[in-house]
Homo-oligomer: A and B are copies of this chain.
Amino acid sequence: MANSGQPALIGLDWGTSSLRGYLVAADGSVIETIRQPWGIQHLPSGGYAEAYRGVTGAWLSSRPDLPVLASGMVGSRQGWREAAYVDCPADAASFAAGLLRFDTGTGPLAIVPGLMQRGRLPEVMRGEETQIIGALAADPTLAARSLFILPGTHSKWAVVRAGRIERLQTFMTGELFALLRDHSLLGRPAREADPTGTSAAPHTIDAAAFRQGVTVAQESGPSGIAGRLFTTRSLWLAGDLPAAASLDYLSGLLVGEEIRSGLAARGGEPLPPLVLSGEAALCDRYREALGIFGVTDVRVLGDTAAAGLWTIAAAAGLVSAAATSPGSFADA
């Protein structure tokens, strides 16, 4: 394709804690990426408009006609403009039909709506739907039937069938871990052993303590970890868990409980192909934990937000659909 290297879209993955900009070529490949810490809770003094100009400015100055499409918490009630939820089940065309378009003052911006599963216990996601759409575009075999796990502050499980996101579930695993580490009695031994938090970097993982936590969660069976969480402290009190390993044990308990609960909720239903998508180190933890539960057929994808933004932009006619091809998105 002659224009494959030419910019065709600016994609923004705009979440709570960061803003990623992608300059996407006409074949869907990413030409350039900019990452700024300007998540919707960490905006620069000039607010959304300044963050927007900061990331898109240089690209738009040379190509002011480029369409811009954003996904994530920027479209939430606390975001720049609220993009109303689309209902489950939904595919790329549903999100395209629900785009919120407005004038930023420096040109038009479209925002991908979030996804809501209505019912007595509703569920929502914002941003993850775009990652899933990107993954499905990258690998059409996943579209038929798959189970996505997107680990993070709020880990999302999503069932995909026939190209549509059908069911959602949220696990607050990452937020719970951070709360317990930073504020609870469970985190105190580690906080006191390492007040600066410097040795809490991901590379110092105590893999054995993590696996121990996952195993305790698995063995808790139908009672779950509500009555086991405190063992993070009692094992330390009994001299059986060093302070430095206690946070990995806690992480194992929480990740293990997420997996235990998610699998238990399926009853005996056989698992469809399972996909992990998100930050690499976190996906590694989840893959290891899934293995302890006997789930070893797991595909790990990296960041597929750019591919998702491209696919939704194409479905919305923001870019030329002729240029799109699922084969053009490689696994990260």
Contact = CB atoms under 8 A, between A and B. Distances in A.
Interface of A: 77, 116, 118, 121-124, 154, 157, 169-173, 175, 179-180, 183-186, 216, 221-224, 226-231, 234-235, 237-238, 240, 257-258, 260-262, 264-265
Contacts of A170: 227, 230, 234
A49 B201 CA distance: 41
A179 B183 contact: yes
B124 A172 contact: no
B122 A223 contact: no
Contacts of A230: 123, 154, 170-172
Contact of A179 (B123, B179, B227): B179
B172 A223 contact: no
A221 B121 CA distance: 15
A154 to B, nearest CB: 7
Among A172, A229, A240, max chain B CB count under 10 A is at A172
Contacts of A179: 179-180, 183-184
Contacts of A226: 171, 173, 224, 257-258, 260-262
13 contacts: A122-B231, A122-B235, A122-B237, A122-B238, A122-B240, A154-B185, A170-B227, A171-B226, A171-B229, A172-B186, A183-B183, A224-B224, A224-B226
Given A230-B171, A230-B172, A116 B238 contact: yes
A170 B175 CA distance: 22
Given A123-B231, A226-B261, 16 more contacts: A122-B237, A123-B230, A124-B237, A157-B227, A169-B227, A170-B227, A170-B230, A172-B230, A175-B184, A175-B185, A179-B179, A183-B183, A221-B222, A223-B264, A227-B261, A227-B265
A83 to B, nearest CB: 13
Nearest to A265: B223
A236 to B, nearest CB: 10
A230 to B, nearest CB: 4
